[in-house]
């Protein structure tokens, strides 16, 4: 019963947060200077007026907001101005799978690379191995993906010819995109894992385990790992959202038709409904992930369960 109540309250919180995000995005997009019908070659004033009428922008803002919420309730995210003839629903349905594939493969790589490195560095704390691994990780954090991505492309695609360097269709360029994302997030995961593993390893129950003669590897993986991985699990929420929605650079470098491109272009084009649509999708993603992560953490960390 308690668990159900906890889940319901978390769900209510998430929905409230989503509502706030949608509202804020709507008004912030409208407050930004410039507008969707502004271009270098000026569109005559009377035509801009007509376009505004065509899209319902001649109404007062609160009315537009109410209309927007009404449409949203029916699942209609509205038309896009930047991609005329496409609805925001179509655009998201088209680009989300690309970003999801990129992000999922990136995440798998980030976890399989980041966690072992972090655990290993923690186990070898303050040795040369730890220092060199952490230097590499720090380097990975510092070097932005717009540097890593072209380098990967230059080497694996143009020099070795293993992949295509760009484009989506029947092309292998997305693998390099995934690797770029995965490498970047693996560095964060490695640092997080190392830090929390070190913390857990210095706790009493570990000492007891050692005292009763548990083999070091058993201590590391059976006793410490479950607690040590907890911050990484917490990080998964924002990481997944970042991997899926924030892959703009990778998408640009490898010419991939993902969500990130739409998100950034919508903002610079003042493509209002596309801004609201993409932001809402990413918000839903973050909130869902955080919700799942909370559940997962409760399972991982007995103390969370006890406190509840």
- Which residues within the stretch 190-249 sit at the binding site for another protein (CB under 8 A)? 204-205, 207-223, 225
Q: Kindly tell me which residue out of 23, 59, 64, 252 binds another protein, with binding defined by CB under 8 A.
A: 252
Residue 87 pairs with which residues in a beta bridge? 79
Q: Which is nearer to another protein, 2 or 169 (CB)?
A: 169
Q: Kindly tell me which residue out of 158, 299, 304, 308 binds another protein, with binding defined by CB under 8 A.
A: 158
Task: Tell the smallest beta-carbon distance from residue 302 to another protein (Å).
Answer: 8
The number of residues that bind another protein (CB under 8 A) is 89
CA distance 140 to 149: 12
Binding-residue pattern over the window 77 to 116 for another protein, x denoting contact by CB under 8 A: --x--xxxxx----x--xx----------------x--xx
Q: Which is nearer to another protein, 5 or 222 (CB)?
A: 222
Q: Kindly tell me which residue out of 168, 233, 284, 301 binds another protein, with binding defined by CB under 8 A.
A: 168
Task: Tell the smallest beta-carbon distance from residue 227 to another protein (Å).
Answer: 12
Task: Tell the smallest beta-carbon distance from residue 196 to another protein (Å).
Answer: 15
Q: Side-chain half-sphere of 188: how many Cα atoms within 13 Å?
A: 19
Angle between helices 173-201 and 230-245 (to 10 degrees): 160
Binding-residue pattern over the window 31 to 60 for another protein, x denoting contact by CB under 8 A: -xxxx-xxxxxxxxxxxx-xx--x------
Q: Kindly tell me which residue out of 2, 60, 74, 169 binds another protein, with binding defined by CB under 8 A.
A: 169
Q: How far is CA 306 from the centre of its chain?
A: 30
Task: Tell the smallest beta-carbon distance from residue 222 to another protein (Å).
Answer: 5
Q: Which is nearer to another protein, 1 or 31 (CB)?
A: 31
Q: Kindly tell me which residue out of 77, 110, 253, 279 binds another protein, with binding defined by CB under 8 A.
A: 253
Residues 6+ away with beta carbon under 8 Å from 25: 275, 276, 279, 280
CB 198 within 8 A of CB 122: yes
Q: How far is CA 199 from the centre of its chain?
A: 27
Q: Side-chain half-sphere of 185: how many Cα atoms within 13 Å?
A: 31
Q: Kindly tell me which residue out of 119, 200, 283, 300 binds another protein, with binding defined by CB under 8 A.
A: 119
Q: Which is nearer to another protein, 15 or 147 (CB)?
A: 147
Q: Which is nearer to another protein, 96 or 290 (CB)?
A: 96
Assess 157 for contact with another protein (CB under 8 A). yes
The 3-state secondary structure of 55-96 reads: CCCCCCHHHHHHHHHHHHHCCCCCECCCCCCCEHHHHHHHHH
Task: Tell the smallest beta-carbon distance from residue 257 to another protein (Å).
Answer: 4
- The label of the residue with tokens 């593993």 reads 197
- The C-alpha angle 240, 245, 247, rounded to 5 degrees, equals 95
Assess 255 for contact with another protein (CB under 8 A). yes
Q: Which is nearer to another protein, 187 or 261 (CB)?
A: 261
Runs of H (alpha helix) within the chain: 2-31, 45-54, 61-73, 88-123, 128-142, 145-152, 173-201, 204-211, 216-218, 225-228, 230-245, 248-254, 259-269, 272-300, 302-307
């Amino acid at each position: 019963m308690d668990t159900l109540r906890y889940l319901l309250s978390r769900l209510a919180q998430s929905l409230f947060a989503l509502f706030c995000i949608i509202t804020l995005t709507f008004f912030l997009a409208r407050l930004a200077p410039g507008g969707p019908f502004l271009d270098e070659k000026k569109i005559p004033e009377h035509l801009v007026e007509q376009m505004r009428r065509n899209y319902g922008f001649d109404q007062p803002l609160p009315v537009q907001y109410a209309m927007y919420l009404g449409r949203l309730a029916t699942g209609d995210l509205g038309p896009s101005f930047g991609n005329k003839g496409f609805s925001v629903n179509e655009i998201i349905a088209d680009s989300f799978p690309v970003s999801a594939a990129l992000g999922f493969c990136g995440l798998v790589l980030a976890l399989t690379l980041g966690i072992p490195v972090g655990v290993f560095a923690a186990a070898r704390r303050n040795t040369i191995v730890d220092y060199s691994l952490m230097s590499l990780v720090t380097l990975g954090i510092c070097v932005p993906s717009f540097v890593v991505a072209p380098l990967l492309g230059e080497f694996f695609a143009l020099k070795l010819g293993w992949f295509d360097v760009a484009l989506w269709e029947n092309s292998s360029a997305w693998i390099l995109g995934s690797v770029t994302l995965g490498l970047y997030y693996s560095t964060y995961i490695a640092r997080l894992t190392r830090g929390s593993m070190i913390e857990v390893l210095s706790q009493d129950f570990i000492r007891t385990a050692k005292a009763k003669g548990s083999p070091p590897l058993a201590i590391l993986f059976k006793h410490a790992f479950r607690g040590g991985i907890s911050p990484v699990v917490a990080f998964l929420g924002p990481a997944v959202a970042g991997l899926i929605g924030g892959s703009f650079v990778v998408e640009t470098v490898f010419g991939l038709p993902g969500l990130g491109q739409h998100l950034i272009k919508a903002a610079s084009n003042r493509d209002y409904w596309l801004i609201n649509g993409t932001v809402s999708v990413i918000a839903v993603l973050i909130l869902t992930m955080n919700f799942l992560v909370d559940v997962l953490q409760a399972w991982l960390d007995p103390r969370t369960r006890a406190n509840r």
